[in-house]
Amino acid sequence: MSSDRTEKESLGETILKIEDIARRDPGGRGLSRRAPRGALGPAAFELLSSRRVAIVTGFCVRAAGIGETDGPPGSLALGGALRILGKKTALVTDRYSLPLLKAGARRLGIPFRALELPNKQNETDAVLGRFVSAFNPTHVVALERPGSAPDGHRYSMRGEILDDVAPSADRLFVPQPGRTWVTLAVGDGGNELGMGSLRDALKDEVPQGSLIFCASPADHTLACGISNWGGYALAAALSLLSGALLLRTPEQERDLLSAVVEAGAVDGCTRQRTLSVDGLSWEEYARTLQEIYDCTSEALKARKKNPDAEADRGD
């Protein structure tokens, strides 16, 4: 077996390992454990070829009147990786999560173009139309953004209708003649934008799935235990494909999450303004970040040593 083929297989195995780490289902929602395995690699390959990427995020917790801690950190992790790779990146969200993204970006010292979606749907449709014409995305990623169910409503995992606090961005994902961009989706409950690709197979595996599961499909769909982990996993896979470490350390991610919480973000499960994500304390949540970071950095170090190892073997 050639060294090139061995390296490719090893790379694929590492990406699959990272995906498995991100697929852990601490909340027992059922989506990530039952979704098809092997989505991370193809999604990362797509993003590696991108030129202009729009990342749609932000999930308002109605009881708190603000966005949650899941979504903005993962979007900034992915957006930061894409920026390092030279991709033009824009963030798309609503008034409830825009302050969270801005606070996180300031803490990172990375300026991002950010688009705010108005609450009224007709205004949002017009804003998205102008944005697409001006930005001309090659790829659109939805990461923890409410998506419309078959009845046209956006739902929380509790079955609450969110239409008035979550304007639909589904027009970016619904297949239509003339659409020129590739779509990717990251979610953890099925009610997120782009998860429609998994609806028929998995709606019965998710609590209230027939009601809340999004109908809009994506070209690439990545189900994770927590959506932030999906953004971090995509940044990890891009690191492996590009040969450069594009991940921030878990300590830096903690600082980012702190900035988002200071800006008002709440845990989507507890509805409390705490340093937690989807009911997991920072310590529990960060174990997965640490494993992804360690797996990625170790694989990159091994690749750098590989040429010498091959020479020593005399192959």
* List of domains in the chain: 3-313 (3.90.1640.20)
Contacts of 105 (CB under 8 A, 6+ apart): 76, 111, 112, 114
Nearest-10 Cα torsion for 121, 127, 131, 132: 40
Q: Tokens for 288?
A: 């997965």
Q: How far apart are the first and last CA of the chain?
A: 10
Question: How many angstroms separate the CA atoms of 168 and 153, rounded?
Answer: 9
User: What is the Cβ-side half-sphere exposure of residue 34, based on CA atoms within 13 angstroms?
Assistant: 15
Rg of the Cα trace of the chain?
19
Question: How many angstroms separate the CA atoms of 2 and 14, rounded?
Answer: 18
Question: How many angstroms separate the CA atoms of 309 and 315, rounded?
Answer: 9
Ramachandran quadrant class, 49 (left: phi over 0; alpha: psi -120 to 50; beta: rest): alpha
State how beta strands 60-61 and 66-67 pair.
Answer: antiparallel
User: Whose CA is closest to 290, among 260, 253, 257, 261?
Assistant: 253
Q: Which pLDDT score is estimated for 314? A: 34
Phi and psi at residue 142, to the nearest 5°: -105, 125
Q: Which pLDDT score is estimated for 8? A: 60
SS3 content of the chain, % helix, strand, coil (to 5): 50, 15, 35
Q: Which pLDDT score is estimated for 4? A: 57
Start-end of H helices in 213-281:
227-242, 250-262
Digitized pLDDT (tens) for each residue of the chain, 315 residues in all: 455 555 566 999 999 999 999 999 999 999 999 999 999 999 999 999 999 999 999 999 999 999 999 999 999 999 999 999 999 999 999 999 999 999 999 999 988 999 999 999 999 999 999 999 999 999 999 999 999 999 999 999 999 999 999 999 999 999 888 899 999 999 999 999 999 999 999 999 999 999 999 999 999 999 999 999 999 999 999 999 999 999 999 999 999 999 999 999 999 999 999 999 999 999 999 999 999 999 999 999 998 887 554 333 333
Q: Which pLDDT score is estimated for 117? A: 98
Q: Which pLDDT score is estimated for 175? A: 87
Residue 309 and residue 101 in contact, taking contact as beta carbons nearer than 8 Å:
no
Report pTM: 0.94
Q: Tokens for 277?
A: 């994500």
Q: Which pLDDT score is estimated for 310? A: 36
Q: Which pLDDT score is estimated for 177? A: 86
